[in-house]
Amino acid sequence: MKTRLLYSLFLFPLIIAFFITQTAFSQSQLTFPQVSQKASVLQRVGLTDITIEYYRPGVKGREIWGKLVPYNKVWRAGANENTTISFSDPVKINGKYLPAGKYGLHMIPGENEWTIIFSKNNWSWGSYFYDKNEDALRVMVKPQISEFHEWLTFSMDNPSSNSVDVNLSWDKLKTGFNVSVGNEIVINHLKKELNNLQGFSWQAWNQAANYAFQNNISLEEAVSWSDKSIRINKNGSNLWTKASLLEKTGNTSEADKLKSEALSIATENEMNMIGYQFVFNKQFDKAIEIFKKNVAQHPDSWNVYDSLGEAYAANGDKNLAIENYQKALNMVKDDNNKVRIHKIIDDLRSD
């Protein structure tokens, strides 16, 4: 009995100490706001997603460049954890190839030139464990003077269908690099989609073929896509797409035959679409010719006059543009289009 009592008296303080230790340990794991807040920026270029995740330190009256951030030393391009950048597809950085993936983004600031580093190691804490042997790519860039930014900021500027500028701005300095993607990336995405449910529709094959035509890429393969679209449902739209592809590859005689067939069976909407292809390519005379045929075939449709008016306006013929817009206005029923056409006519008259 005494032995059991002594054992209990010895064990009780150990149990109390254990629970105190565990409580203190649990308290040390609480999450509090960080001084440098986490941020992210995402931009889609074409079909490629670019994502940067980073922490944003503030200037707070400090001297940043050459002091807080030393020159000629690897810097994490932010605060706290590793700044990372990811690409869903292969890209080019200032013209240099970089595979798809997630990278640690580091920089070596200099007074006149910076080194941008894309590291295969994207999980380390900051740049403390940086290893040059893990570099995937390095590019050299020039810093620029900019407006003041209290908080370090990454931005995706000047986005287009195939490129974007990635910039870091902090204090009174900005530096960055260009990211570009090839049209072949979109083609590869299209191939995957065409091998799925989309591949059962003629529209999908025709859209893919037309994209290749507009961007002058994979033209021979695009012809085969047009053939698949035509086999599913032959119409003026896919016949015209194939004709355009054949014309671009030099088979003009076959292209002319298909264009004639396309125009002979095209619906009003298909004819309109063909006309707008010429408008987008600034071939206004050809667009006007197509739209005039559509007017002749569908004289009771306000939309054909609207399209013809647009083509005349783009070609600089205000009088004929107003004349056809007025015809469309006299026939259209819905209020939204009435307001829109009224405004166009007023703008043309006021020019």
Residue 126 belongs to some domain of the structure? yes
**Percent of the chain residues past pLDDT 70, beyond the cut:** 91
| Whether residue 214 sits in one domain with residue 305 | yes
| Whether residue 155 sits in one domain with residue 209 | no
pLDDT of residue 317: 94
The Cα 189–Cα 181 span in angstroms is: 13
Residue 10 belongs to some domain of the structure? no
CA 316 to chain centre: 33
Final residue before a domain boundary, out of 181, 201, 223: 181
Instruction: Identify the three-state secondary structure at position 140.
Output: strand
| Whether residue 114 sits in one domain with residue 62 | yes
| Whether residue 170 sits in one domain with residue 196 | no
Q: How distant, in Å, are the alpha carbons of 13, 45, 153, 156, 321 from that of 169?
A: 57, 21, 5, 11, 48
| Whether residue 276 sits in one domain with residue 253 | yes
Residue 15 belongs to some domain of the structure? no
Final residue before a domain boundary, out of 128, 158, 181: 181
| Whether residue 215 sits in one domain with residue 155 | no
Q: 164 Cβ partners below 8 Å, 6+ apart?
A: 43, 45, 50, 156, 157, 158, 178, 179
Interval 148-172 mean pLDDT: 96
Q: How distant, in Å, are the alpha carbons of 95, 102, 112, 114 from that of 144?
A: 20, 27, 9, 11
The Cα 132–Cα 274 span in angstroms is: 55
Residue 24 belongs to some domain of the structure? no
Label residues 10-35 b or e (16+ Cβ within 10 Å = b).
eeeeeeeeeeeeeeeeeeeeeeeeee
The Cα 272–Cα 257 span in angstroms is: 20
pLDDT of residue 23: 52
Final residue before a domain boundary, out of 181, 211, 244: 181
| Whether residue 332 sits in one domain with residue 209 | yes
Provide the strand spans (E) within the chain: 37-45, 48-56, 84-87, 91-93, 96-98, 101-108, 114-119, 135-141, 144-157, 163-180
Residue 23 belongs to some domain of the structure? no
| Whether residue 191 sits in one domain with residue 162 | no
| Whether residue 277 sits in one domain with residue 131 | no
| Whether residue 149 sits in one domain with residue 239 | no
pLDDT of residue 184: 87
The 3 state secondary structure assigned to 13-72 is: HHHHHHHHHHHHHHHHCCCCCCCCEEEEEEEEECCEEEEEEEEECECCCCCCECCCECCC
- Host domain of residue 87: 37-181
Looking only at the bridges linking them, the beta strands covering 84-87 and 48-56 are antiparallel
Residue pair 92/98 in contact (Cβ under 8 Å)? The answer is yes
- The 10s digit of each residue's pLDDT in 202-250 is 999 999 999 999 889 999 999 999 999 999 999 999 999 999 999 999 9
Output the CA torsion 213→215→219→224 (10° steps): -60
| Whether residue 284 sits in one domain with residue 146 | no
Q: Give how many domains the chain has, as a whole number.
A: 2
Kindly calculate the radius of gyration of the chain based on its CA atoms and give it in whole angstroms.
32
The DSSP output letter for 111 is: S
List the CATH number of the domain containing 319. 1.25.40.10
Predicted structure pTM score? 0.72
Residue 98 belongs to some domain of the structure? yes
| Whether residue 165 sits in one domain with residue 312 | no
pLDDT of residue 7: 46
Which residues are bridge partners to 137 per DSSP?
118
Phi, psi at 155, each rounded to 5°: -140, 155
pLDDT band at 6 (very low <50, low <70, confident <90, very high): very low
53: left (phi over 0), alpha (psi -120 to 50) or beta: beta
Q: Which residue has the tokens 């695009």?
A: 222
The Cα 190–Cα 43 span in angstroms is: 20
Burial class from Cβ neighbours inside 10 Å (0-12, 13-18, 19+) for residue 6 reads exposed
pLDDT band at 35 (very low <50, low <70, confident <90, very high): confident
